[in-house]
Structure 1
């Protein structure tokens, strides 16, 4: 901020920041993380959140767990990025424009179909292709400019998630973005970092990435299935076969 002020000519000389503006050391940050503990949701908490969410939020939670989506990712997701028949998502991150692809779980596909079927027409024409819109037919995360020149951001996803988290009895201190952390933590068990990075929308500056021209859908599906097995509980319903199967949409009610 101080450097910007000087570079733009808003101050006559560089401002002295003092030692209080120095970032904390890595050891301090490590100790703080250890004190706070890991920011994750357990499988039981994930299921409780899904059961307590409405249809649209449930679809967003699944995208967070399945694809590492954050708030803005869900808010800006266009319908054109989804191929529900093949269970695929192809959508560059709005924040960085970095390529991102993901294989969708059957549960994610099912809930997205229901959410799209009940979707209202957006109020603004520029939002016509969005997957999610609020009850007032607005974008879930939006930034507006105030008369005084400042900007303010409305994040309806964070608000809805906080209510669903409280209703589910999940301890506070972990927001919607924790779903993204939960996904990545379990995705590493697939032992395919390039595929996990592609799903997350992370850049890879290594020489290997320069030579690697593509990552097959089979690798993305393997990562997705690894995460799914660790997060979603399988069970055998009464009177139906001996093998386990994933829960269905109606069973989350």
Structure 2
């Protein structure tokens, strides 16, 4: 048993994990702390005197809970990474050794102020929701005797502010001419990724984690459950998209199971705990080469473009199916619907194809 000087707590390290016990001032001989250590060795969860639980301990319990859900298939890796990042954010602002029952509303106010300087209102709201879930978990799991007092300030941004932010961002889709402009400047990989975005609503993660195994080049279909939502996704591909995917596959350097690999031999996935991938940053030079600002619109705007144009087919169910949207729990039609016919899916993507290429063919 040793003393952790920064916190003034008795501690012990086992298999690379540090365990914290009583305050030295409250347990000068370490007797209570030793008893708690023996509880750990016996496979039981110890509890400090007075029910004290440090912020770091709470985060560890929460992530253990999320890891179990990840291992069971109830949580995807990106979401797990986002929860991990939320723990990092809160421990950057609040002393991780501080007992949770000593955290004050003023601590949450300072935390929110720091987050607001780093993130826009949408991301800020997401992080606040995740952090509140962390502390609410502590109460529900029986780790805390009472609910945490977040105070008056630790709330998500108001809906009005979010609407203003969306208005300031301006147009979040691409015109047909702009997409052709992007395709004209795109290399082999990016041509395929852009076409997947505009003809199938593929987002950043969808293209970053795409594998050859889910593409049937002979029939021109992609058929797989979307990783983010586990919703079945069956997509008829345009001839232009099939050709672009073949070209990307032919130039694949090897070394990655994913289809798209950058110039330096790295794919576009990320091992960082932010839940992000490398598509966002890598798309900026593509925008610049095509004459667009590097900020304002990103790769995900191609998904918005598909949604906007595909709805013109009049079959919103087919659009949602191709997008891989998660149906609402109250959507009984989605529960009973077993499939969407290939004819409906083709009509959906053909609507977008006509929008993008019909004007061009009419002049030929």
The 8 Å contact of residues 229 and 325 in structure 2, kept in 1 or not, is answered as no
**TM-score, normalized by length of structure 1?**
0.81
Displacement after TM superposition at 1:154 (Å): 6.6
Distance 1:176 1:66 in 2: 13
Distance 1:4 1:152 in 2: 16
The 8 Å contact of residues 93 and 99 in structure 1, kept in 2 or not, is answered as yes
Q: Which has the larger radius of gyration?
A: 2
Q: Quote the residue 1:187 is aligned against.
A: 310
Q: Name stretches of at least 5 consecutive residues in structure 2 with no aligned partner.
A: 1-130
Displacement after TM superposition at 1:11 (Å): 6.8
Q: Name stretches of at least 5 consecutive residues in structure 1 with no aligned partner.
A: 145-150, 237-242, 246-253
Q: Quote the residue 1:251 is aligned against.
A: none
Structure with greater proportional helix content: 2
Distance 1:119 1:191 in 2: 38
The 8 Å contact of residues 169 and 296 in structure 2, kept in 1 or not, is answered as no
Distance 2:193 2:326 in 1: 23
The 8 Å contact of residues 229 and 326 in structure 2, kept in 1 or not, is answered as no
Size of the aligned set, in residue pairs, is 228
The one of 287, 297, 305 equivalent to 1:174 is 297
The 8 Å contact of residues 88 and 103 in structure 1, kept in 2 or not, is answered as yes
Displacement after TM superposition at 1:166 (Å): 0.9
Distance 1:244 1:102 in 2: 29
**TM-score, normalized by length of structure 2?**
0.57
Displacement after TM superposition at 1:203 (Å): 2.2
Displacement after TM superposition at 1:6 (Å): 5.4
The 8 Å contact of residues 200 and 306 in structure 2, kept in 1 or not, is answered as yes
Q: Quote the residue 2:149 is aligned against.
A: 16
Displacement after TM superposition at 1:79 (Å): 0.8
Q: Quote the residue 1:44 is aligned against.
A: 177
Q: Secondary structure at the match of 1:142?
A: coil
Distance 2:136 2:158 in 1: 26
Distance 2:174 2:360 in 1: 20
Q: Bigger shift: 10-19 or 227-236? A: 10-19
Distance 1:72 1:207 in 2: 28
Q: Quote the residue 1:91 is aligned against.
A: 224
Which whole-Å deviations, capped at 9, do the CAs of 1:33-72 have from their partners, x for residues lacking one?
2343331111111111111111111111110001101111
Distance 1:200 1:29 in 2: 24
TM-align CA RMSD: 2.3
List 4+ stretches of structure 1 deviating above 6 A: 9-12
2:344 is the alignment partner of 1:228: no
Larger RCO, structure (CA 8 Å, separation 6 or more):
1
Q: Secondary structure at the match of 2:271?
A: strand
